[in-house]
Every structure is written in structure tokens, then in C-alpha cells.
Amino acid sequence: MRPTIKRRTTSRGTTIMLDYDFMRTAFAASAIVALMAGSVGYFLVLRGQTFAGHALAHVGFTGATGAVLVGVSPMWGLVALTLAGGVAMGLLGERLAERDVAIGVVLSVSLGTGLLFLHFFTATASAATALLFGNVLGVDEATLWVLLGLAAVTLAGLAALSRPLLFASLQPELAEARGVNIRLISVLFLALAALAVAASTQIVGVLLVFTLMVGPAAAAQKLTGRLMAGLLLSMALALAQAWAGVALAWWTDWPTSFWIAALSGAVYLAAALR
């Protein structure tokens, strides 16, 4: 549930957002997730695997609802099944023709299972809405530490994998001829993407993962063709959009996910027009 906001104002009538613990937690959580999503999302767009990110989010929803049914924290169900889905997609197909089929198979199975779980899902409507659309203002300190751990693993793994991943993404035939294990690279990268997707759903929900995973990365690649500059720009855009979304949600009392999605779309449109 979203915390009840009792705003304290200064003598000038200016609301101090950071006086509240849940707002500080929201800014910290959105920063952690944005940096992770911006970096992983850059390679997702570069590799043409944005559909995979979308599919993994739906896989995660199935894991979260399944975890609730067995009395486990939905966060752990989300992470576990999303990670399993990412590994399965990587194992089933790396080449473009195989990849779409593999993603479609994993997505259809997970959605079918998710429908079954929803049939038995007896939680309140607000809990289901939080899974679908995210609720960054409801992130507690324990979840914040989980997000920090996921980010540390994801960013460290991406740094270690970046060179062969870039080689396999831009020149897959040449990389394979040079002895790079393309399928292993795909499995490892999609596993990292799965962790980033699982974290992103805590902020923007299952249905709006694209706003942080794809929007900033796609805009960055429109603005620069340089790898490092594009990667840093993607992370910066994701962070700016996430923080601006939290701030605008505070001032307007509109959903944070809406603002992040709107900003992501506006930034991408501006980059595309440029």
C-alpha cells in the first residue's frame, strides 16, 4: 500500500520531500534500479533483445504470484523465476530466428501458469496492482538491501562479461570463429537481464519494465554511437527519469510509474526527432 502522505512544509510553504523515510527510500531504490536497468538495457537494445526483457517481466509476475500462494515473499519468487526464464531463453536459442521462438515458448508457458496462479490468487486488488504497475513508495528497507545486492551482482557480472558480450553482439560470426561461446554468453547475459528486470518491477511494475529497461537505452543510442558514452548516457537518463518521476509523483499525487513512463516516452521521442 502507498504510504499516507502528511506533508510538512517550511515557513515558505515548500514541502520537504526528504524529511520522510519512505521518500528517501524511494529515491535510493529508484537510483539503484535505474543504474542497473540503464546499463543492462543498453546491451538489450544493442543486441535486439528488447522482446526478451518484456517477456522476462511477465515470467517474473508468474513467479511473484506463485510465491504468494505458497507463503513466500513475492520478491524472491520474482527473482527466482525470472532468472530461470532468462537462462531458459539463452539455452533454447541464440540466433535471431531461434531466439524469438525460444522467447515466445517461455513467455506462453509462463503466462499460462500465471493465469492459473491468478485463479487462486486471493490477495487484495492493491497487491496485484503493485505487482503489475510497481510501487516505489512502498519499498521498505529490507527490499532496498535486496535491490542493492541484485545491483552489485548485475553490474559486476556485466563488467566482467562486457568485452565478449560486445564482440558477440556486433560480430557474432567472427566471435564464434574466434572461439567465443556464443550460447554461454547469451545465457549469462540473459541471466543478468533477468535480475535487472526483477529489480525494475519493484519500481515500475511488470507492465512498464520497458520504461526503464528500453526507453533510456534506445534514446541514448539515438543520441550517440560511441559505446561508453552511450552506456553512461543510458544510465544517466534512466536515473534522471526515475528521480523526476518520484518527485513529480510527490507534487501531483499521481502514480510514479505513470511519470516515469511519460518521461521515458518524451525523452525517446525528442531523441528520435533529433
Given pLDDT bands bounded at 50, 70 and 90, which one contains residue 149? Answer: very high
Asked whether the predicted pLDDT for residue 9 surpasses 50, the reply is no
* Residue 11 pLDDT > 70: no
More confident residue, 38 or 209: 38
3-state secondary structure the chain: CCCCCCCCECCCCCECHHHCHHHHHHHHHHHHHHHHHHHHHHHHHHCCCHHHHHHHHHHHHHHHHHHHHCCCCHHHHHHHHHHHHHHHHHHHCCCHHHHHHHHHHHHHHHHHHHHHHHHHCCCCHHHHHHHHHCCHHHCCHHHHHHHHHHHHHHHHHHHHHHHHHHHHHHCHHHHHHCCCCHHHHHHHHHHHHHHHHHHHHHHHCHHHCHHHHCHHHHHHHHHCCCHHHHHHHHHHHHHHHHHHHHHHHHHHCCCHHHHHHHHHHHHHHHHHHC
Q: pTM of the entire structure?
A: 0.82
Name the least confident of 8-12, 113-117, 128-132, 203-207. 8-12
- Structural domains of the chain, ranges and CATH numbers in brackets: 18-273 (1.10.3470.10)
pLDDT-derived band at 168 (thresholds 50, 70, 90) equals confident
pLDDT exceeds cutoff 90 at 1 = no
